[in-house]
């Protein structure tokens, strides 16, 4: 792929001009008739040369081909072609996908289906984004990046929100443009913050009942639908027992499938893994490292326990050994289970629901000029070639025909 | 002056002759230039137009400072006194000017016939200035034979202009036809035309002792340098057509062929002690006549 894009793609219709001229040049038409007194000399010349009198349609003189090519290149140059390398300045647009970004920008707009904070911030950011950008989000564990004119649509859906804090410092760079709700502090990055009012709504479930914030007060609503839990067979026996006890205590329903939360171990791997906790040590056979938000790491720093939406996965399997303070270990495991329980639908943490302030935006240095801009763009080279070819075509006497 | 018009067949022609207001003055200037040159060359050389035709008039005493080449050395030896030879131009010389007015002379901008007629009128004016009797003969037109106009004195020149303006380029008879039908009966014979209708030998058959031949070959600019591209060439005299695409190679071959034709005329003229001048109808008539006047 050439990776070309055009600044003025509408100018490409001018490519039709050389085509039309070429067709006109090839159009058969009666030759120009001219009187002469030297017809017998012409006959002698024709007899001696390979040329013969002709009644065929007009051929296109070679000079005209140079002219046509020059016009075509000129049309391309006018369209402003550029490679991705030339297409700078390209922003790295860092999209904040935490739950607060999907709240209505104004509380009263919630029911009217009006703008969300993410929509308002994006609209402000687009005023600075000219052309494709490197869209970036943090999924709770890794940065994802996609180049394009728009962010991936599923990033704009609340179901894909990030549950962890944004590590802004990792993307505090001149070419970064943060799209968020609360005005952040940056050293080099530019940002657009939507701001936004406080938004009441469901914040979670407590003891099987939904809890909502309304005018700043906590209100307990009716019973929430019970959380359903699946404990995979791969989960070590001792942890299964702990998990079942926690489920009973919390009123969580154990099911075989269709769960809100699935807990298990990854596929077995060779070797052993040891996790050191606060007063306890967990050792066992190694299993596949989990993806998502890392809750525990082993002695080597590899992920040993991680959670992501509706899933809690352990990188150890039987035979498992718990040493040290077993009670402390049990509390740590239950904490992990608690943090993995998905909130009820529509629930957003109270901290996220807080007002995001007036918003605003700040433009830093921004992305720099392209590295090769001093050496001329593709368009300027095309324009030069077009001028040379048109000049050549005219010089070759194309217009005399 | 441009007199080119489109004919009924769509071809552009300059078949007629029109002398503009300044033409008479230009001819007068040509004559006075000739007279000045003659005065400067009195007895010291021969201009082309004044070549043979000077004869011995007598002797006079040598004056200090005169060209010693004019001294009569025999007389000096016999009489021991310096005398110079005095020559005078022979009066009553007869000139014939043959003018091609075939259809092909109606080509060009300005037309070949226009420029040829100007040359003829200019030459006639010079001839009258040299006390020559001048006879201008036009080749036969369509349905008419050759016509002529004779001038004996300067007052006749205006009639010649009217005679020439009444003619037009037509028919197929050119200089070659005049060579066959006419007897010059003159001391000088000028042929003015495109010289495309015959071979040199037909023309130089009229070269005899005591007669000087001068040819003025007038071609249209497009005959010297045809434009490139697709074209249909038409011969106005026989109506034949050739359709061709003129490219650089063909053009070069044509130019070489035309040049060799003109060279053949020049070579034959040199062999007969004659003059042959070839030029474009785009050039002023004074320039075309200059080689005949000895510049």
Q: Which of A108-117, A214-223, B108-117, B223-232 has the lowest mean pLDDT?
A: A108-117
Q: Check: CB of residue B231 under 8 Å from CB of residue B246.
A: yes
Are B250 and A30 inside 8 Å of each other by CB? Answer: no
pLDDT in tens, B267-280: 988 888 889 999 99
Compute the nearest-CA separation of A392 from chain B (Å).
16
| Among the listed residues B96, B133, B39, the one whose alpha carbon sits nearest the alpha carbon of residue B215 | B96
Domain, as residue range, for B84? 56-89
CATH value at residue B268: 3.40.50.410
Q: Which of B104, B229, B250 sits opposite A401 (nearest CB)?
A: B229
pLDDT of amino acid B119? 94
Are B245 and A55 inside 8 Å of each other by CB? Answer: no
Give the A window 261-320 contacts with B, CB below 8 Å.
none
| Among the listed residues B192, B197, B138, the one whose alpha carbon sits nearest the alpha carbon of residue B169 | B138
B18 within a domain of the structure (yes/no): yes
* DSSP β-ladder status, A81-83 and A4-6: antiparallel
pLDDT of amino acid A338? 87
State whether B78 and B184 are in the same domain: no
Residues of B with CB under 8 A from a CB of A: 10-13, 104-107, 112, 194, 196, 219-220, 222-223, 226-237, 240-245, 247, 249-250, 253-254, 257-258, 261
Q: What's the number of domains chain B is made of? A: 2
Is the pLDDT assigned to residue B88 strictly greater than 60? no
Confidence of residue A275 (pLDDT cuts 50, 70, 90): very high
pLDDT of amino acid B49? 57
Q: Which of A249-258, A263-272, A366-375, B22-31 has the lowest mean pLDDT?
A: A366-375
pLDDT in tens, A7-18: 788 888 888 988
Closest residue of chain B to A51, computed from CA coordinates: B250
pLDDT of amino acid A32? 79
Confidence of residue B47 (pLDDT cuts 50, 70, 90): very low
B81 within a domain of the structure (yes/no): yes
Distances A264 to A118, A310, A327 between C-alpha atoms, Å: 35, 12, 21
The span from the CA of B26 to the CA of B123, in Å, is 12
- CB contact A400 to B (< 8 Å): yes
pLDDT of amino acid B241? 86
pLDDT in tens, B234-250: 888 888 888 888 888 88
State whether B67 and B95 are in the same domain: no
Q: Check: CB of residue A392 under 8 Å from CB of residue A63.
A: yes
pLDDT of amino acid A50? 66
State whether B103 and B234 are in the same domain: yes
Range A343-362 average pLDDT: 83
Q: Average per-residue pLDDT in chain A?
A: 83
Are A37 and B242 inside 8 Å of each other by CB? Answer: no
pLDDT of amino acid A285? 94
Residues in chain B within 8 Å Cβ distance of A30: 232
pLDDT of amino acid B44? 40
Domain boundary among the residues B41, B67, B89 is at B89
pLDDT of amino acid A401? 44
Confidence of residue A356 (pLDDT cuts 50, 70, 90): confident
Is the pLDDT assigned to residue B78 strictly greater than 50? yes
State whether B81 and B226 are in the same domain: no
pLDDT in tens, B138-156: 988 777 788 889 998 888 9
Is the pLDDT assigned to residue A51 strictly greater than 80? no
The span from the CA of A285 to the CA of B160, in Å, is 130
Compute the nearest-CA separation of B144 from chain A (Å).
21
Is the pLDDT assigned to residue B45 strictly greater than 60? no
- Residue A386: asked if its preceding bond is cis (omega within 30°), the reply is no
Q: What is the DSSP letter of B154?
A: G
Q: What is the DSSP letter of A208?
A: T
pLDDT of amino acid A232? 92
Is the pLDDT assigned to residue B134 strictly greater than 80? yes
B196 within a domain of the structure (yes/no): yes
pLDDT of amino acid B86? 66
The span from the CA of A221 to the CA of A290, in Å, is 36
Report the length, in residues, of chain A.
401
B15 within a domain of the structure (yes/no): yes
pLDDT of amino acid A108? 63
The span from the CA of B293 to the CA of B34, in Å, is 7
Q: How many contacts, defined by CB atoms under 8 Å, are there between A and B?
A: 112
State whether B105 and B232 are in the same domain: yes
pLDDT in tens, A171-193: 999 899 999 998 888 889 999 99
The domains of chain A are located at: 1-27+57-82+369-401, 92-199+349-362, 228-340
B48 within a domain of the structure (yes/no): no
Range B84-105 average pLDDT: 78
Q: At what angle do helices B157-165 and B112-129 cross, to 10 degrees?
A: 170
Confidence of residue A1 (pLDDT cuts 50, 70, 90): very low
State whether B113 and B152 are in the same domain: yes
Give the list of residues 6+ apart from residue A401 with CB closer than 8 angstroms, or none. Answer: A25, A58, A61, A64, B228, B229, B230
pLDDT of amino acid A263? 94
Percent of chain A beyond pLDDT 90? 28
pLDDT of amino acid A242? 92
pLDDT of amino acid A59? 63
Residues in chain A within 8 Å Cβ distance of B248: none
Give the A window 12-31 contacts with B, CB below 8 Å.
30-31
State whether B66 and B125 are in the same domain: no
pLDDT in tens, A84-140: 555 557 899 999 998 889 888 876 655 555 689 999 999 999 888 888 889 999 987
SS3 content of chain B, % helix, strand, coil (to 5): 40, 25, 35
pLDDT in tens, B159-182: 999 999 998 888 888 888 888 888
- Residue A89: asked if its preceding bond is cis (omega within 30°), the reply is yes
B5 within a domain of the structure (yes/no): no
Task: Return the residue in A28, A32, A35 with the most chain B beta carbons within 10 A, the one to mutate for interface testing.
Answer: A35
Q: Which of B222, B236, B254 sits opposite A41 (nearest CB)?
A: B254
The span from the CA of A215 to the CA of A195, in Å, is 19
- CB contact A53 to B (< 8 Å): yes
Is the pLDDT assigned to residue A159 strictly greater than 90? no
Residue, of A23 and B283, whose pLDDT is higher: B283
Q: Which of A84-93, A275-284, B253-262 has the lowest mean pLDDT?
A: A84-93
- Considering only CA atoms, give the Rg of chain A: 35
The span from the CA of A243 to the CA of A305, in Å, is 15
């Amino acid at each position: 792929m050439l990776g070309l894009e055009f600044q003025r793609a509408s100018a490409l219709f001018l490519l039709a001009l050389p085509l039309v001229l070429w067709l006109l040049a090839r159009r058969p038409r009666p030759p120009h008739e001219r009187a002469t007194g030297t017809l017998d000399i012409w006959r002698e010349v024709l007899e001696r040369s390979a040329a013969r009198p002709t009644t065929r349609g007009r051929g296109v003189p070679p000079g005209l081909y140079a002219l046509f090519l020059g016009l075509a290149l000129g049309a391309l140059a006018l369209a402003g072609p550029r490679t991705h390398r030339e297409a700078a300045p390209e922003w790295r647009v860092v999209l904040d996908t935490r739950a607060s970004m999907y709240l209505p920008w104004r509380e009263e707009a919630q029911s009217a289906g009006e703008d969300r904070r993410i929509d308002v911030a994006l609209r402000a950011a687009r005023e600075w984004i000219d052309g494709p950008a490197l869209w970036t989000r943090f999924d709770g564990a890794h940065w994802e990046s996609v180049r394009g004119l728009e962010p991936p649509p599923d990033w704009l859906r609340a179901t894909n929100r990030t549950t962890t804090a944004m590590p802004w410092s990792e993307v505090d760079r001149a070419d970064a443009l943060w799209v968020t709700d609360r005005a952040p502090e940056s050293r080099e990055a530019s940002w657009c913050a939507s701001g936004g009012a406080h938004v009441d709504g469901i914040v979670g479930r407590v003891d099987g009942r939904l809890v909502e914030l309304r005018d700043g007060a906590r209100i307990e609503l009716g019973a929430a639908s019970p959380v359903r839990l699946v404990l995979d067979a791969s989960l070590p026996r001792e942890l299964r027992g702990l998990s079942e006890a926690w489920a009973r205590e919390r009123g969580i329903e154990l099911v075989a499938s269709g769960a809100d939360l699935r807990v298990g171990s990854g596929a077995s791997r060779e070797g052993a893994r040891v996790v050191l906790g606060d007063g306890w040590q967990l050792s066992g056979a190694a299993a596949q490292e989990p993806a998502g938000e890392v809750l525990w790491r082993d002695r080597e720093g590899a992920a040993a326990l991680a959670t992501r939406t509706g899933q809690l996965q352990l990188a150890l399997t039987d035979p498992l050994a718990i040493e040290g303070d077993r009670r402390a270990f049990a509390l740590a495991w239950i904490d992990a289970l608690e943090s993995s329980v998905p909130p009820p639908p529509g629930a957003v943490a109270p901290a996220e629901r807080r007002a995001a302030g007036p918003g605003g935006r700040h433009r830093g240095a921004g992305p720099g000029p392209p590295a090769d801009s001093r050496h001329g763009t593709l368009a300027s080279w095309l324009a030069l070639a077009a001028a040379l070819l048109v000049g050549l075509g005219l010089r070759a006497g194309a217009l005399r025909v | 002056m441009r007199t080119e018009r489109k004919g009924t067949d769509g071809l552009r022609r300059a078949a007629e002759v029109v002398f503009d207001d300044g033409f008479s003055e230009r001819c007068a200037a040509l004559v006075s230039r000739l007279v000045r040159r003659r005065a400067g060359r009195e007895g010291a050389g021969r201009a082309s137009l004044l070549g043979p035709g000077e004869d011995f008039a007598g002797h006079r005493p040598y004056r200090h400072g005169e060209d010693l080449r004019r001294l009569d050395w025999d007389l000096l030896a016999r009489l021991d006194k310096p005398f110079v030879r005095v020559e005078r131009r022979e009066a009553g010389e007869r000139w014939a000017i043959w003018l091609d007015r075939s259809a092909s002379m109606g080509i060009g901008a300005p037309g070949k016939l226009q420029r040829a007629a100007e040359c003829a009128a200019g030459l006639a004016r010079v001839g009258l200035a040299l006390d020559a009797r001048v006879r201008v003969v036009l080749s036969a037109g369509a349905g008419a034979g050759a016509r002529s106009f004779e001038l004996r004195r300067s007052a006749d020149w205006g009639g010649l202009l009217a005679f020439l303006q009444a003619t037009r380029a037509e028919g197929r008879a050119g200089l070659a036809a005049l060579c066959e039908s006419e007897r010059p009966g003159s001391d000088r014979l000028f042929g003015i035309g495109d010289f495309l209708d015959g071979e040199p030998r037909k023309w130089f058959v009229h070269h005899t002792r005591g007669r000087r031949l001068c040819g003025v070959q007038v071609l249209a600019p497009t005959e010297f340098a045809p434009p490139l591209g697709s074209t249909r060439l038409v011969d106005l005299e026989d109506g034949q057509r050739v359709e061709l695409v003129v490219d650089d190679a063909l053009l070069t071959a044509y130019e070489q062929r035309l040049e060799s034709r003109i060279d053949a005329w020049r070579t034959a003229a040199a062999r007969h002690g004659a003059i042959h001048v070839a030029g474009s109808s785009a050039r002023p008539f004074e320039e075309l006549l200059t080689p005949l006047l000895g510049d």
